[in-house]
């Protein structure tokens, strides 16, 4: 007997739940994270009198323990923020860089495509994807420290202390931990220092029927965080932590060196700013998805309806498709790591009017999959962002930042702070953030309504993925733009990115989390 037609027609609908997560609104501030335990650390900073930057960075450090496969001390990223003190939007660039000693010739091409779904030719041994040769210079600690110094109100020791205490306690195991470790089990077990923690007894850590919390130790990560709190970011790049990172890098054969760490600096930059309907959108410039966001916004027509309709979604698809086609032709390919996407986003706002969007990553899930044992740091695989083919706009070269997909956005109105969005999800990030900003600005949605509304994704360029909740008229309109596939919003794989947002409004600062991300949450004070 063949598979019944009714079963074949629903083969992608393997998750049938619907989740709702309301916004969290407070008097002092609000913070949202992909892991609510980390968000609680940000909430505690707000309760202690901290501002949105304090809350966001404390949450980001806590994610090193709570969501270590997504981000951590060994990664990099971008912050877009509205500073109430400066009455301006700024960007903190702490992107990863290729090591100075990297030799592109040591990444020879192989047949087929790479193991991490980037779509370009494979490299022999996947050395640009996994292991020591995939590691770029980390910028996370420099970026967080600079953001705190310029825009926070708390000291680095105060901000790092909760994460250090969490690391000393250990990572709390959830079913999501089991899923993440199981999904990368084949590569994690290649590296004993990683497998010792994330594959105890050779298997992913798992929950039991006992509801009491279960924790797993994180090696020397607590020591590193405590030293960072005591000695500052200088220790990470020029002190004892740096020495241990460089020693592990040399031990494993990475080209990352002490000189790379000593030379690294995060930067404060001006954003790209664009006006639409009385609002001004601010996104990072340079080697991010910001320029493509700006291209799409420039081509987006005005909308007259009260809610998004078939014409709206078709317009989103057309403008996003054109922006990505231009990006690939002129800027290079930053890839899409599919279900291996490994990024965290944090959103925060406070009563002073500060809005903070942090997008931070190890690149792939568990980054290089190589944990440096002398520090307990899971290192990035930022080299995988580069095109391994020579002569391309984003080709692999030493001492260079690669093109990436991050685009934390802040929107102001009449010069005053309004809202912000950001997301994790590789090439799915920009379409998600773009549509969410439109939902709020063009259609008056609140944060929770915008995050729950159906979206389309153009990350595949030649195919539109459309939320199965969209009506038939919208599906037909999308098919006129490009081949369209219907897929419901699922927890895994995440088809439409994992966005979060924050807003400053008359009712107080608020934040909201992606409803289909199980551990995500927003908290307020």
Strand pairing category for 464-467 and 484-487 = parallel
* Three-class DSSP category at 329: helix
For the chain, report the end-to-end CA distance as a whole number of angstroms: 59
- Phi then psi dihedrals of residue 402, to 5 deg: -90, 165
Q: What are phi and psi of 147, to 5 degrees?
A: -60, -40
> Beta strands of 248-354 (E only): which ranges?
267-269, 272-276, 279-283, 341-350
343 catalytic? Reply is yes
Looking at 303-403, which runs of residues are DSSP E strands?
341-350, 355-364, 371-372, 377-378
Looking at the DSSP assignment, which residues form a beta bridge with residue 456? 466
Catalytic residue among 343, 412, 474, 484: 343
- Rounded to whole angstroms, the Cα distance separating 484 from 470 reads 12
| Residue 279, CA distances (Å) to 196, 303, 385, 411 in order | 50, 14, 33, 7
Q: Is 369 left (phi over 0), alpha (psi -120 to 50) or beta?
A: left
> In 3-state terms, what secondary structure has residue 412?
strand
Q: Count the residues in the chain.
A: 525
Element (H, E) at 476: helix 472-479
Give DSSP secondary structure letters for 56-119.
Answer: HHHHHHHHHHHSTTT--TB-EEEEEEEETTTTEEEEEEE--B--TT--GGGS-EEEEE-TT--S
Q: What is the DSSP letter of 190?
A: T
- Give the catalytic positions in this structure: 343
């Amino acid at each position: 007997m063949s598979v019944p037609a009714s079963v074949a027609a629903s083969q992608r609908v393997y998750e049938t739940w619907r989740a709702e997560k309301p916004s969290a609104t407070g008097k002092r501030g609000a913070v949202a994270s992909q892991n609510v335990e980390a968000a609680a650390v940000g909430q505690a900073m707000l309760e202690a009198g901290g501002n949105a930057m304090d809350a966001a960075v404390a949450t980001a450090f806590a994610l090193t323990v709570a969501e270590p496969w997504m981000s951590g001390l060994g990664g990099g990223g971008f912050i877009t923020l509205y500073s109430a003190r400066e009455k301006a939007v700024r960007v903190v660039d702490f992107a990863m860089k290729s090591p100075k000693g990297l030799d592109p010739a040591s990444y020879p091409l192989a047949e087929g495509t790479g193991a991490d779904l980037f779509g370009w030719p494979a490299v022999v041994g996947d050395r640009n994807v996994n292991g020591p040769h995939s590691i770029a210079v980390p910028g996370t600690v420099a970026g967080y420290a600079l953001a705190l110094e310029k825009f926070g109100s708390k000291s680095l020791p105060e901000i790092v202390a909760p994460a250090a205490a969490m690391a000393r306690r250990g990572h709390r195991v959830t079913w999501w931990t089991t899923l993440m470790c199981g999904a990368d089990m084949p590569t994690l077990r290649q590296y004993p220092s990683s497998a010792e923690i994330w594959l105890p007894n050779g298997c992913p850590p798992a929950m039991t029927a006992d509801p009491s919390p279960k924790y797993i130790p994180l090696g020397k990560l607590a020591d590193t965080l405590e030293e960072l709190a005591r000695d500052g970011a200088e220790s990470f790049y020029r002190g004892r932590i740096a020495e241990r990172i460089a020693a592990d890098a040399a031990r494993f054969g990475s080209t990352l060196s002490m000189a790379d760490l000593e030379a690294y600096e995060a930067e404060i930059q001006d954003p790209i700013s664009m006006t639409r309907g009385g609002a001004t959108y601010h996104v990072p410039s340079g080697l991010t998805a910001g320029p493509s966001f700006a291209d799409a916004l420039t081509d987006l027509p005005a909308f007259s309806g009260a809610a998004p309709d078939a014409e709206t979604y078709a317009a989103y698809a057309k403008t996003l498709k054109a922006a990505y086609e231009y990006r690939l032709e002129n800027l290079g390919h930053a890839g899409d790591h599919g279900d291996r996407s490994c990024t965290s986003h944090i959103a925060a706002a406070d009563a002073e009017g500060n809005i903070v969007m942090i997008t931070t990553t190890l690149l792939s899930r568990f980054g290089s999959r190589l944990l440096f044992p002398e520090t307990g740091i899971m290192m990035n695989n930022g080299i995988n962002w580069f095109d391994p083919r020579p002569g391309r706009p984003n080709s692999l070269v030493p001492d260079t930042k690669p093109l990436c997909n991050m685009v934390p956005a802040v929107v102001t109105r009449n010069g005053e702070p309004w809202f912000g969005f950001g997301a994790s999800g590789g090439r799915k990030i920009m379409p998600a953030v773009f549509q969410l900003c439109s939902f709020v600005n063009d259609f008056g949605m609140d944060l929770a309504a915008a995050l729950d509304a159906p979206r389309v994704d153009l990350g595949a360029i030649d195919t539109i993925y459309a939320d199965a909740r969209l009506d038939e008229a919208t599906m037909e309109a999308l098919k006129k733009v490009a081949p369209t596939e219907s897929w419901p919003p699922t927890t895994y794989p995440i088809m439409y990115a994992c966005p979060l947002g924050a807003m400053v409004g008359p009712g107080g600062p608020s934040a909201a989390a992606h409803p289909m991300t199980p551990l995500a949450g927003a908290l307020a004070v």
